[in-house]
Protein backbone atom coordinates (compact mmCIF):
# COMPACT_ATOMS: atom_id res chain seq x y z
CA UNK A 1 0.00 0.00 0.00
CA UNK A 2 1.33 3.54 -0.80
CA UNK A 3 2.06 5.74 2.13
CA UNK A 4 1.18 8.93 0.27
CA UNK A 5 -2.10 9.86 -1.36
CA UNK A 6 -2.28 11.18 -4.93
CA UNK A 7 -4.90 13.18 -6.72
CA UNK A 8 -3.87 11.48 -9.96
CA UNK A 9 -4.77 7.83 -10.44
CA UNK A 10 -1.46 6.75 -11.75
CA UNK A 11 0.86 5.47 -9.22
CA UNK A 12 4.42 6.58 -9.00
CA UNK A 13 7.21 4.04 -9.03
CA UNK A 14 7.54 2.52 -5.58
CA UNK A 15 10.96 3.90 -4.92
CA UNK A 16 12.18 5.95 -7.84
CA UNK A 17 15.90 6.49 -7.80
CA UNK A 18 17.24 9.97 -8.31
CA UNK A 19 19.06 8.75 -11.41
CA UNK A 20 15.87 7.59 -13.17
CA UNK A 21 13.83 10.56 -12.15
CA UNK A 22 13.60 12.77 -15.26
CA UNK A 23 13.02 16.43 -14.99
CA UNK A 24 10.71 17.39 -17.80
CA UNK A 25 9.69 20.99 -18.25
CA UNK A 26 6.20 21.24 -16.94
CA UNK A 27 5.12 23.28 -19.93
CA UNK A 28 6.09 20.50 -22.36
CA UNK A 29 4.49 17.82 -20.33
CA UNK A 30 1.45 19.66 -19.18
CA UNK A 31 -0.62 19.17 -22.31
CA UNK A 32 0.10 15.50 -22.59
CA UNK A 33 -0.19 14.76 -18.93
CA UNK A 34 -3.23 16.91 -18.42
CA UNK A 35 -4.84 15.25 -21.41
CA UNK A 36 -3.88 11.94 -19.92
CA UNK A 37 -5.46 12.88 -16.66
CA UNK A 38 -8.69 13.75 -18.34
CA UNK A 39 -8.53 10.80 -20.67
CA UNK A 40 -7.88 8.40 -17.84
CA UNK A 41 -11.01 9.69 -16.17
CA UNK A 42 -13.05 8.82 -19.18
CA UNK A 43 -14.05 5.32 -20.15
CA UNK A 44 -12.23 3.80 -23.12
CA UNK A 45 -15.46 3.54 -25.08
CA UNK A 46 -15.89 7.33 -24.92
CA UNK A 47 -12.49 8.15 -26.38
CA UNK A 48 -11.94 9.40 -29.89
CA UNK A 49 -9.01 7.86 -31.82
CA UNK A 50 -7.06 11.02 -31.16
CA UNK A 51 -7.83 10.91 -27.45
CA UNK A 52 -7.02 7.19 -27.36
CA UNK A 53 -3.65 7.97 -28.86
CA UNK A 54 -3.10 10.61 -26.19
CA UNK A 55 -4.04 8.05 -23.56
CA UNK A 56 -1.38 5.68 -24.86
CA UNK A 57 1.24 8.43 -24.75
CA UNK A 58 0.16 9.33 -21.26
CA UNK A 59 0.43 5.71 -20.12
CA UNK A 60 3.81 5.48 -21.74
CA UNK A 61 4.93 8.55 -19.87
CA UNK A 62 3.55 7.05 -16.69
CA UNK A 63 5.34 3.79 -17.52
CA UNK A 64 8.63 5.63 -17.78
CA UNK A 65 8.06 6.79 -14.28
CA UNK A 66 7.82 10.44 -15.24
CA UNK A 67 6.40 12.49 -12.47
CA UNK A 68 4.92 15.90 -12.46
CA UNK A 69 3.46 17.74 -9.60
CA UNK A 70 -0.28 17.57 -10.20
CA UNK A 71 -0.89 21.07 -8.86
CA UNK A 72 1.77 22.49 -11.16
CA UNK A 73 0.33 20.54 -14.06
CA UNK A 74 -3.14 21.81 -13.29
CA UNK A 75 -1.87 25.37 -12.96
CA UNK A 76 0.15 25.10 -16.19
CA UNK A 77 -2.80 23.60 -17.98
CA UNK A 78 -5.04 26.36 -16.74
CA UNK A 79 -2.49 28.93 -17.78
CA UNK A 80 -2.03 27.41 -21.20
CA UNK A 81 -5.74 27.06 -21.61
CA UNK A 82 -6.18 30.63 -20.44
CA UNK A 83 -3.42 31.84 -22.71
CA UNK A 84 -4.90 29.97 -25.63
CA UNK A 85 -8.27 31.34 -24.78
CA UNK A 86 -6.91 34.88 -24.61
CA UNK A 87 -5.10 34.44 -27.89
CA UNK A 88 -8.23 33.02 -29.45
CA UNK A 89 -10.27 35.89 -28.13
CA UNK A 90 -7.66 38.33 -29.34
CA UNK A 91 -7.54 36.58 -32.72
CA UNK A 92 -11.32 36.50 -32.91
CA UNK A 93 -11.47 40.15 -31.90
CA UNK A 94 -8.85 41.01 -34.51
CA UNK A 95 -10.81 39.08 -37.12
CA UNK A 96 -14.03 40.75 -36.04
CA UNK A 97 -12.38 44.15 -36.15
CA UNK A 98 -10.94 43.38 -39.56
CA UNK A 99 -14.32 42.20 -40.81
CA UNK A 100 -16.10 45.18 -39.28
CA UNK A 101 -13.46 47.52 -40.67
CA UNK A 102 -13.77 46.00 -44.16
CA UNK A 103 -17.54 46.16 -43.89
CA UNK A 104 -17.37 49.76 -42.71
CA UNK A 105 -15.02 50.61 -45.55
CA UNK A 106 -17.37 48.95 -48.04
CA UNK A 107 -20.31 50.82 -46.51
CA UNK A 108 -18.38 54.09 -46.61
CA UNK A 109 -17.36 53.45 -50.21
CA UNK A 110 -20.93 52.61 -51.15
CA UNK A 111 -22.20 55.69 -49.33
CA UNK A 112 -19.56 57.82 -51.06
CA UNK A 113 -20.52 56.32 -54.41
CA UNK A 114 -24.21 56.91 -53.73
CA UNK A 115 -23.49 60.48 -52.61
CA UNK A 116 -21.40 61.12 -55.73
CA UNK A 117 -24.11 59.66 -57.94
CA UNK A 118 -26.70 61.80 -56.17
CA UNK A 119 -24.59 64.95 -56.64
CA UNK A 120 -24.04 64.07 -60.30
CA UNK A 121 -27.76 63.40 -60.80
CA UNK A 122 -28.63 66.69 -59.10
CA UNK A 123 -26.12 68.56 -61.28
CA UNK A 124 -27.49 66.88 -64.40
CA UNK A 125 -31.05 67.70 -63.37
CA UNK A 126 -30.05 71.32 -62.70
CA UNK A 127 -28.31 71.57 -66.07
CA UNK A 128 -31.31 70.04 -67.83
CA UNK A 129 -33.61 72.47 -66.05
CA UNK A 130 -31.40 75.41 -66.99
CA UNK A 131 -31.24 74.23 -70.60
CA UNK A 132 -34.99 73.84 -70.64
CA UNK A 133 -35.44 77.30 -69.13
CA UNK A 134 -33.01 78.79 -71.66
CA UNK A 135 -34.82 77.04 -74.49
CA UNK A 136 -38.18 78.24 -73.15
CA UNK A 137 -36.82 81.78 -72.76
CA UNK A 138 -35.45 81.67 -76.31
CA UNK A 139 -38.75 80.35 -77.65
CA UNK A 140 -40.60 83.00 -75.64
CA UNK A 141 -38.30 85.74 -76.97
CA UNK A 142 -38.78 84.45 -80.51
CA UNK A 143 -42.53 84.35 -80.00
CA UNK A 144 -42.48 87.87 -78.56
CA UNK A 145 -40.32 89.13 -81.44
CA UNK A 146 -42.62 87.49 -83.97
CA UNK A 147 -45.64 89.01 -82.23
CA UNK A 148 -43.96 92.43 -82.19
CA UNK A 149 -43.01 92.05 -85.85
CA UNK A 150 -46.55 91.07 -86.70
CA UNK A 151 -48.00 93.97 -84.71
CA UNK A 152 -45.60 96.30 -86.52
CA UNK A 153 -46.56 94.83 -89.87
CA UNK A 154 -50.24 95.14 -89.08
CA UNK A 155 -50.20 98.71 -87.80
CA UNK A 156 -52.16 101.37 -89.68
CA UNK A 157 -50.80 104.77 -90.77
CA UNK A 158 -51.98 107.96 -92.50
CA UNK A 159 -51.80 107.98 -96.33
CA UNK A 160 -50.11 111.37 -96.55
CA UNK A 161 -48.22 113.55 -94.12
CA UNK A 162 -49.26 117.11 -94.83
CA UNK A 163 -52.86 117.65 -96.05
CA UNK A 164 -56.11 119.46 -95.65
CA UNK A 165 -59.36 117.55 -95.49
CA UNK A 166 -61.61 118.81 -98.25
CA UNK A 167 -64.52 116.79 -99.67
CA UNK A 168 -65.63 114.12 -97.26
CA UNK A 169 -67.58 110.88 -97.62
CA UNK A 170 -71.18 111.59 -98.67
CA UNK A 171 -73.40 113.35 -101.19
CA UNK A 172 -71.65 116.01 -103.22
CA UNK A 173 -73.17 118.01 -106.05
CA UNK A 174 -76.12 115.68 -106.22
CA UNK A 175 -74.15 112.46 -106.35
CA UNK A 176 -72.38 110.15 -103.91
CA UNK A 177 -68.71 110.83 -103.13
CA UNK A 178 -67.57 107.52 -101.55
CA UNK A 179 -64.18 108.87 -100.41
CA UNK A 180 -62.18 111.33 -98.35
CA UNK A 181 -60.20 113.95 -100.27
CA UNK A 182 -56.89 115.06 -98.73
CA UNK A 183 -55.66 118.22 -100.43
CA UNK A 184 -51.86 118.36 -100.66
CA UNK A 185 -49.19 119.77 -102.98
CA UNK A 186 -48.45 117.84 -106.18
CA UNK A 187 -45.59 115.40 -105.57
CA UNK A 188 -46.42 114.69 -101.89
CA UNK A 189 -45.42 111.12 -100.95
CA UNK A 190 -48.42 108.79 -100.70
CA UNK A 191 -48.11 105.83 -98.32
CA UNK A 192 -49.57 102.37 -98.00
CA UNK A 193 -51.90 102.25 -94.97
CA UNK A 194 -50.56 98.88 -93.72
CA UNK A 195 -49.10 95.59 -95.02
CA UNK A 196 -50.66 94.33 -98.20
CA UNK A 197 -50.39 93.54 -101.88
CA UNK A 198 -50.79 95.90 -104.80
CA UNK A 199 -53.81 94.69 -106.81
CA UNK A 200 -53.99 97.59 -109.29
CA UNK A 201 -51.42 100.18 -110.34
CA UNK A 202 -52.12 102.18 -113.54
CA UNK A 203 -54.30 104.60 -115.40
CA UNK A 204 -57.99 104.49 -114.67
CA UNK A 205 -60.47 105.18 -117.51
CA UNK A 206 -63.14 106.01 -114.89
CA UNK A 207 -61.80 109.44 -113.87
CA UNK A 208 -59.36 108.33 -111.12
CA UNK A 209 -56.27 109.20 -113.13
CA UNK A 210 -53.18 107.30 -111.89
CA UNK A 211 -54.74 104.85 -109.42
CA UNK A 212 -53.27 102.41 -106.87
CA UNK A 213 -55.38 99.72 -105.21
CA UNK A 214 -53.90 97.76 -102.28
CA UNK A 215 -55.46 94.72 -100.58
CA UNK A 216 -54.34 94.67 -96.93
CA UNK A 217 -53.76 91.76 -94.54
CA UNK A 218 -57.34 92.05 -93.16
CA UNK A 219 -58.93 91.91 -96.62
CA UNK A 220 -59.66 95.64 -96.86
CA UNK A 221 -58.86 97.30 -100.20
CA UNK A 222 -57.84 100.98 -100.42
CA UNK A 223 -58.04 103.13 -103.56
CA UNK A 224 -55.74 106.14 -103.86
CA UNK A 225 -56.40 108.27 -106.97
CA UNK A 226 -55.24 111.30 -109.05
CA UNK A 227 -51.54 110.56 -108.48
CA UNK A 228 -48.90 112.25 -110.57
CA UNK A 229 -46.61 109.22 -110.55
CA UNK A 230 -46.82 105.60 -109.40
CA UNK A 231 -43.99 103.84 -107.51
CA UNK A 232 -45.35 100.27 -107.31
CA UNK A 233 -46.73 97.64 -109.65
CA UNK A 234 -49.34 94.90 -109.41
CA UNK A 235 -48.38 91.96 -107.19
CA UNK A 236 -45.88 93.95 -105.13
CA UNK A 237 -45.85 93.46 -101.36
CA UNK A 238 -45.91 96.68 -99.39
CA UNK A 239 -45.61 97.60 -95.72
CA UNK A 240 -47.16 100.29 -93.49
CA UNK A 241 -46.00 103.76 -94.54
CA UNK A 242 -44.25 102.52 -97.66
CA UNK A 243 -44.14 105.15 -100.40
CA UNK A 244 -46.34 103.94 -103.28
CA UNK A 245 -46.89 107.13 -105.34
CA UNK A 246 -46.61 110.89 -105.55
CA UNK A 247 -49.79 112.86 -105.32
CA UNK A 248 -51.19 114.91 -108.21
CA UNK A 249 -54.38 115.93 -109.96
CA UNK A 250 -54.72 113.42 -112.77
CA UNK A 251 -58.08 112.16 -114.02
CA UNK A 252 -61.36 113.87 -113.08
CA UNK A 253 -59.91 116.29 -110.50
CA UNK A 254 -60.39 119.96 -109.71
CA UNK A 255 -57.10 120.37 -107.82
CA UNK A 256 -54.11 118.47 -106.31
CA UNK A 257 -55.29 115.98 -103.73
CA UNK A 258 -55.35 112.31 -102.71
CA UNK A 259 -58.75 110.71 -103.21
CA UNK A 260 -58.95 107.89 -100.63
CA UNK A 261 -61.58 105.12 -100.73
CA UNK A 262 -61.86 102.25 -98.23
CA UNK A 263 -63.54 99.00 -99.34
CA UNK A 264 -63.77 96.46 -96.48
CA UNK A 265 -63.51 92.91 -97.89
CA UNK A 266 -63.26 94.54 -101.33
CA UNK A 267 -66.94 95.40 -101.04
CA UNK A 268 -68.79 98.73 -100.88
CA UNK A 269 -66.93 101.87 -99.79
CA UNK A 270 -67.19 103.19 -96.20
CA UNK A 271 -66.31 106.54 -94.59
CA UNK A 272 -62.46 106.62 -94.39
CA UNK A 273 -62.15 108.99 -91.39
CA UNK A 274 -64.24 106.79 -89.08
CA UNK A 275 -62.69 103.58 -90.41
CA UNK A 276 -59.14 104.88 -89.80
CA UNK A 277 -60.07 106.29 -86.38
CA UNK A 278 -61.08 102.79 -85.27
CA UNK A 279 -57.52 101.73 -86.16
CA UNK A 280 -55.85 104.50 -84.24
CA UNK A 281 -55.28 106.80 -87.18
CA UNK A 282 -56.71 110.29 -86.95
CA UNK A 283 -56.95 112.34 -90.11
The minimum distance between CB 194 and Zn ion, in angstroms, equals 21
The minimum distance between CB 261 and Zn ion, in angstroms, equals 8
Residue 166 and residue 168: Cα distance in Å, rounded?
6
**What is the pattern of x (binds Zn ion, CB under 5 A) and - over residues 209-248?**
----------------------------------------
261 lies in the site for Zn ion, by CB under 5 A: no
Residue 142 and residue 113: Cα distance in Å, rounded?
42
| Number of residues this chain uses to bind Zn ion (CB under 5 A) | 3
Question: Counting beta carbons within 10 angstroms of the beta carbon of residue 183, is it exposed (0 to 12), middle (13 to 18) or buried (19 or more)?
Answer: middle
Residue choice 34, 62, 179, 232 for contact with Zn ion (CB under 5 A): 179
260 lies in the site for Zn ion, by CB under 5 A: no
182 lies in the site for Zn ion, by CB under 5 A: no
Residue 47 and residue 58: Cα distance in Å, rounded?
14
Q: Which residue is nearest to Zn ion (CB)?
A: 259
The minimum distance between CB 179 and Zn ion, in angstroms, equals 4
Cα dihedral 84, 89, 93, 99 in deg (nearest 10): 80
Q: Which is nearer to Zn ion, 213 or 259 (CB)?
A: 259
Residue choice 259, 262, 269, 275 for contact with Zn ion (CB under 5 A): 259
**What is the pattern of x (binds Zn ion, CB under 5 A) and - over residues 126-165?**
----------------------------------------
| 266 Rama sector, left if φ>0, alpha if ψ -120 to 50, beta otherwise | left
Residue 242 and residue 24: Cα distance in Å, rounded?
129
Chain-centroid distance of CA 3 in Å reads 98
Residues that bind Zn ion (CB under 5 A): 179, 181, 259
Amino acid sequence: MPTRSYTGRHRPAAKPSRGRRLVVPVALLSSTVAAGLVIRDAGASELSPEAASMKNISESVAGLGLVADPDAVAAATANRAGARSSRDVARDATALIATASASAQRSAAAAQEAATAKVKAAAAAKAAKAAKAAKAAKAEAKKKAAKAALAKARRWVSPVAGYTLTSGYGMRWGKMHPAQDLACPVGSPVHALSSGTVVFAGWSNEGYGNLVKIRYWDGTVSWMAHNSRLLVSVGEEVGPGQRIAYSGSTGNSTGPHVHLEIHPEDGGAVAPVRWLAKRGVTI
